[in-house]
Structure 1
């Protein structure tokens, strides 16, 4: 009698497993919610033109090979509705960097119809209420805009059983963002529109990698160009790794500009303008300074002494300190040292900003004064704008900048670390120019940007096979986010408009 009972128990277990198996198999699929989307209509005046436009803010799902959603990409798209010919209007895909940053900075700082207005003189911003104002400088009159938050930023996230690390890497991210663009232009019938990528900071690295993903191979999506705002496309120019002397050369003109701004140039009267001073700092960096660094122990005492004198004249740093660094001044050392005697540290993203540290003798700052001075304003203004202007109301946090994404980033584009060396996407841009005769590059540089120095970008553009005839280089007396500075914002928008209409 025990055997039938045991058999019955086994049959019941098998039956239970059979009935639960479909539930387990469908569990991931059931957990994936429907994409959220908000569509609102607006009017505004930009560049003197009255513009009617529609805002589509919400999720687009990327799908795997089996057609199942694998990631949700949050975006905010602005489309002019009273344009004569919408298909011929330029379409700009805009994103920031990090990696791990949402698109809030370019969205709410320069391109969007609303803008966070901050003091132009690098004064610290306090607490709410912040100044969220109409942005008549937006280029929405002449171009449609799509702001994209990569996975792990904003409201974008992996779906189902997929993990964030699946999308967190140079190649992985470029593939996901490129797939988003393919889906967007398909859903919105924009295949035949002029297309541009607009990236800031690591977003310029992303843009370079996306050029390869989009343009190379069959079924390509050819671009009209890319806009690189505060760019880093070759990491050898900015990575202070032992044995790599290039960053000491590429950072020097920004050190010089910063010393000029803070009145630390010993004999400032020798130069009539900042541009003339920077030109001389470039010449010194490329010639005497680079030569002595390259020679190392082969440099004569007189050559070293001459370089120490000129480094002092361009940076304002003490000669004894310059010798202690072995002529090699790292960015964080400079930020801490320039105004140490005054108890001040200077900003990294924008060296016009000043802060104070509890520890006056350390060799690095507690936090970047140019970051904590503005973060609260952008965060609050963005949340307010989403909820009150474009009807995006979600309880989940909007990730302005994710440390989790950054700390888990895969910096290898492909192959081994040894075969890759320093990450460099500039050759991808050069290939894009060779294969597409209409492909152009716009580069915006801030003189006071110690995160992505302008001379490093010049080095990148002057190497790697770039066609300089199709590169537009512009400079502004501000930092990494030059649009915080009102005169630089106005100049930047003017330059972008001219670039689009060339």
Structure 2
């Protein structure tokens, strides 16, 4: 999905660090290694952060765990052997997955929640949630404009350390994580391969750090929401139940993504579920008819239109009468601010990137993708759609610079190593997914709703918090709401799902007041579900 790739491509406090253990050994790509390709690493440091007026002392652990492909058997350290349940020979590959964990000092593990965070992409490390949202420090970036170096790193009084220990995990091949072996792409760069790697990582992390009894949470953003939903069932198959899952800017059913729906004629849902975000964008830039004074009542009206008159018109296809076509175009013009003639030319279907390119074309401006409140100069005035994301360009350098400095100066990790802020695997990602009981990976856009439904049925105590921003075109908020309204679970389990949307973009946390509100919502969710008196 172009929006996820754009995010990936976009991209102190003093502490005392102990000596680092062995660095991963270099690996030859021409011959299988005689021993393990990687070995675990670990650096410990200490720090303190004040949240809600309370100083929280913590231990930080920056390190790696080694993860193997599905089907691996570890009867011998370096032995690759076909598992009886594996469908083919086990890939010759390993991954060294980097993480930064924060443990509150003197907190008993069995009564202390632990939350695992990951960003998306596919191909993005988890520096965004780490340095922008819930870690003990965060980078300051100006809201809605492009900042510049030097970037300021400050103590994060909105850290979630007040309610949970935190583990930020980089996907294989991103950040300080590494993959090696002749089959490394097949082993780790795909929907199910990625779910497997993170599942094994969490299982082994719980063992290494003695956290099996802790209340457990997943927090996924963007493509990380697909990973999290798939992991709910995968973790249960490892006998690991979750207390809760938090999704930020979710996309669990890729039939709803707005990327290039014109290449799949007859599938009109992406246009329908994206329309409320287009309307929110027009509202913000004062291009909606009548300049409605409040956003949420305006969106209620647009959502109703999108799922009734607009949906019916699109379903009629070429059989839509001209008078109805004109009437629908007029409503779209009022909600989106796009010219009537343009909407008729597009056959009432607003293509991905077109809204961003066309809304402020008279000003030579392009709106953001991750956050449509952002604007920037249009790169090509003659292009059909937007060719870049102003928000990604505005903050990517700040986050990457901040984490590189923080990791090396404060965590004491990364000397002599490159931090991979983006990995170009989007186009080659293996998108086949095997839903529960399908018996085989399906040749279709991935959909992890069946996995999540199966996990909720088997663990009816697991709760879900769904969050997002009204100004996010990459994963439209209404698409996230719509897909979970079609989660195949009984009514009593639907009550386990809570929703919260903010006047923000994809990364709600870049706006400090909204970060404060979102942190309060997530902290409340953890307190209500951790089963601790």
TM-score, normalised to structure 1, is 0.90
2:58 to 39, 53, 60: 53
Residues 278/190 of structure 1: CA separation in 2 closer, same or farther (3 Å cut): same
Structure 1 residue 162, shift from structure 2 partner: 4.7
Q: Secondary structure at the match of 1:29?
A: coil
Equivalent pair of 2:217/2:242 in contact (CA under 8 Å): yes
2:187 to 144, 166, 184: 166
Unaligned runs of 5+ in 2: 1-27, 79-92, 529-533
1:355-366 to structure 2, matched below 5 A, reads 355-366=376-387
2:512 to 481, 486, 499: 486
Equivalent pair of 1:264/1:315 in contact (CA under 8 Å): yes
Q: Cα RMSD over matched residues?
A: 2.1
2:339 to 318, 329, 335: 318
Deviations 1:78-113 (A, max 9, x none): 111132x33211110100000010000001111100
Q: Does 1:89 align with 2:112?
A: yes
Deviations 1:349-368 (A, max 9, x none): 11011111342121122321
Q: Secondary structure at the match of 2:353?
A: helix
Equivalent pair of 1:165/1:409 in contact (CA under 8 Å): no
Equivalent pair of 2:374/2:391 in contact (CA under 8 Å): yes
- Aligned pairs, how many? 472
1:307-346 to structure 2, matched below 5 A, reads 307-346=328-367
1:464-483 to structure 2, matched below 5 A, reads 464-466=487-489, 467-483=493-509
Provide the rounded CA distance (Å) in 2 between the counterparts of 1:337 and 1:41: 50
Structure 1 residue 438, shift from structure 2 partner: 1.0
Q: Does 1:406 align with 2:426?
A: yes
Unaligned runs of 5+ in 1: 1-22
Equivalent pair of 1:39/1:57 in contact (CA under 8 Å): yes
Worse-superposed segment, 33-42 or 280-289: 33-42
Q: Secondary structure at the match of 1:366?
A: coil
Structure 1 residue 169, shift from structure 2 partner: 0.4
2:461 to 438, 445, 448: 438
1:193-272 to structure 2, matched below 5 A, reads 193-216=214-237, 219-239=238-258, 240=261, 241-268=264-291, 271-272=292-293
In the alignment, what sits opposite 1:109?
132
Residues 352/191 of structure 1: CA separation in 2 closer, same or farther (3 Å cut): same
Worse-superposed segment, 151-160 or 483-492: 151-160
Provide the rounded CA distance (Å) in 2 between the counterparts of 1:433 and 1:313: 41
Equivalent pair of 1:31/1:160 in contact (CA under 8 Å): no
User: Hey, which of these two has a bigger chunk of helix by percent?
Assistant: 1
Provide the rounded CA distance (Å) in 2 between the counterparts of 1:181 and 1:263: 46
Provide the rounded CA distance (Å) in 1 between the counterparts of 2:359 and 2:379: 17
2:103 to 79, 97, 116: 79
Q: Does 1:43 align with 2:48?
A: yes
- Based on CA coordinates, which of the two structures has the bigger radius of gyration? 1
Structure 1 residue 31, shift from structure 2 partner: 7.7
Residues 52/358 of structure 1: CA separation in 2 closer, same or farther (3 Å cut): closer
Provide the rounded CA distance (Å) in 1 between the counterparts of 2:519 and 2:34: 45
Equivalent pair of 1:157/1:164 in contact (CA under 8 Å): no
In the alignment, what sits opposite 1:452?
475
Provide the rounded CA distance (Å) in 2 between the counterparts of 1:451 and 1:25: 40
Provide the rounded CA distance (Å) in 1 between the counterparts of 2:428 and 2:477: 28
In the alignment, what sits opposite 1:65?
73
Provide the rounded CA distance (Å) in 1 between the counterparts of 2:342 and 2:29: 65
Deviations 1:130-177 (A, max 9, x none): 121110110102200111111110111124555233101000010011
Q: Does 1:123 align with 2:149?
A: no
In the alignment, what sits opposite 1:20?
none
Worse-superposed segment, 175-184 or 149-158: 149-158
In the alignment, what sits opposite 2:302?
281
Q: Secondary structure at the match of 2:495?
A: helix
In the alignment, what sits opposite 2:85?
none
In the alignment, what sits opposite 1:29?
34
